[in-house]
Structure 1
Amino acid sequence: MSSNATARTARRRTLRVAAAALTAAAALSLTACSGADAIGTKPAGHTGSGTADGAGSSRTGGAGSAAGAQGSETKADTKADAGAKTGTKAGAAAKQSGSAPAAGSDRAGSGVERCHTSGLKAAFATGGDAAPDPDAGGSTTTSVVLTNKGGRACKIGGFPGVDLKSVNGGERWSLARSTAKHGSITLGPGDSTDFTLNLAMTKEDKGFYQPAYADITPPNETTPITIAWPWGTLVDQRSATHPATFVNPIG
């Protein structure tokens, strides 16, 4: 082979090697670019996903807080309603337990009934110094005794009604009441109490009133107990504004 041919052959080999090297370099360059693009894309996608997750977590936390607040308000309202109902029941119970007995009730505060006419007997006290002094003028007194003849205790107090009657019953005198204060007492079976009458007695044969009977009506009753009048004459003051003969209270 001539020297020229040998030189041409060597040049062609050199060109092929150079071309192959350029091709390999280009391939590596393309591979590197593809890898860089993939790496750049992947972090971007990851960052986007992370932001979305964070936003979702924030929204979830907000909803949970709202639900928790609403639950707390509901529980508070429920407790308030329960407290209101309890207060209403307690108030109703307090109101019921503190209500006053109806007016005109036969029961006293302790649960003992008042004394009724049917359970009492009446009589003037006549023994010893119980008799009024006929010489005392308007300063004497007499007592009427009331006895519980029933089988149960009863309570009595206040002013009885006292009506004096003449022999034929035509001349009545409803005695005035004093201004004395009074309480009440409980009479067991067989127990007695009394009240007094202030009397203006007289021996004059003019301006007098001679009772024959006394109708004694216990407090808060309408039926009287009639008893005989055992004493002498009284000064007739049936029309007087402030008579000297009047009734004092029981108790």
Structure 2
Amino acid sequence: MKHTRIAALAAVGVAATLSLTACGNGDSGTDSSAKSAGSGASSSSSSSSKGGAQAESGPGSGDAQAGDGTSGSGQDTKAQTVNGATKTGAKVTFCRTKDLAIDAVNAAPDETSGRINITMVNRGSTTCSATGFAGVDIKDADNTSSPIARGHAQPRVTTLKPGDAAVFDLAYTIDGSGDSLTSPTKIVVTPPNETHSVTLDWPEAAGAIKGAYTDVEVYPTHTTK
């Protein structure tokens, strides 16, 4: 009987040990799964974070840089007009002659520096670009016409909203001798990037041109604001 009780107690002890071992393995499995899941989430989060950083540094983030170009005519400006587009991306077409009110006035600052200011007002219903050099010919009293050369100046971006004005000028030296070889009567103006012209009267108050028409220069447009 004594041996039987000892054997029974031993059997109970073995069973208890096996039961504790099984419980321990179950806990271990749970911890392992949790750690594995946590590791997976961490890896996924890290991957997403890297992907986001790449997206920010990729081509899609270069919008600010894309505006660093210059316009076809205005080489001294940045982020203003690129291939006819404003920095906001809106397309702007060149001003049409038919939409411009154009006139010429004498604007000589003194008795030796001749200057004719030619103003172009946007009478159209949309914003347009008058950037660049206008084409200018001066007609003489003898019915000859002379093209005017460009002055040494960089064009400035000149965007006109309806009602806005752009100005460019003709510059020359005034002949005070009374023996000028020119007798200008008309100015033929072709706005920048246009083919249609308008003919204006030479301002009566303008001083005589010293030399020839080749000594007159036309300068690029700019806004009056």
Normalising TM by the smaller chain, what interval? 0.5 to 0.7
Structure (1/2) with the larger helix percentage? 1
1:169/1:161 CA distance change after superposition, 3 Å: farther
The CA RMSD over aligned residues, in Å, is: 4.0
Are 1:194 and 2:174 counterparts?
no
Q: Is the counterpart of residue 230 in structure 1 residue 202 in structure 2?
A: yes
Name the TM-score, length of structure 1 as normaliser. 0.60
Question: Which residue of 79, 99, 106 maps to 1:119?
Answer: 99
Give me the TM-score of the superposition, normalised by structure 2: 0.65
- 1:70-120 per-residue CA deviation (whole Å, 9 max, x = no partner) reads 111233344445556666777789638655499423556484835512321
Give 3-state SS (helix, strand or coil) of 1:179's partner: coil
Give the structure 1 partner of residue 147 of structure 2: 173
SS in 1 for 2:153: coil
The whole-number CA distance in structure 2 between the counterparts of 1:235 and 1:142 is 17
Distance in 1 (alpha carbons) for counterparts of 2:102 and 2:182: 22
Q: 1:177 Cα shift?
A: 2.5
> Which of 156, 179, 188 pairs up with 1:204?
179
The one of 30, 42, 61 aligned to 2:27 = 61
Q: Which residue of 2 aligns with 1:76?
A: 42
Q: 1:142 aligns with which of 113, 116, 139?
A: 116
Which structure is higher in strand share? 2
Structure 2, unmatched stretches of 5+, are 68-78
Note closer, same or farther for the CA distance 1:192–1:199 as it changes in structure 2 (3 Å cut). same
Mapped to 2, the partners of 1:114 and 1:210 lie a distance apart of 37
Q: Secondary structure at 1:48's aligned position in 2?
A: helix
Calculate percent identity across the aligned residue pairs: 8
Matched, 1:41 2:7: yes
Per-residue CA deviations over 1:26-80 (Å, capped at 9, x if unaligned) read xxxxxxxxx1111111121122222222222222222111111111123334444
Per the alignment, residue 19 of structure 1 pairs with: none
Distance 1:165 1:196 in 2: 13
How far apart are residue 176 of structure 1 and its match?
2.0
Aligned length: 202
Instruction: Check the 8 A contact 2:127/2:161 in 1, yes or no.
Output: yes
Q: Give the match's secondary structure for 1:235.
A: coil
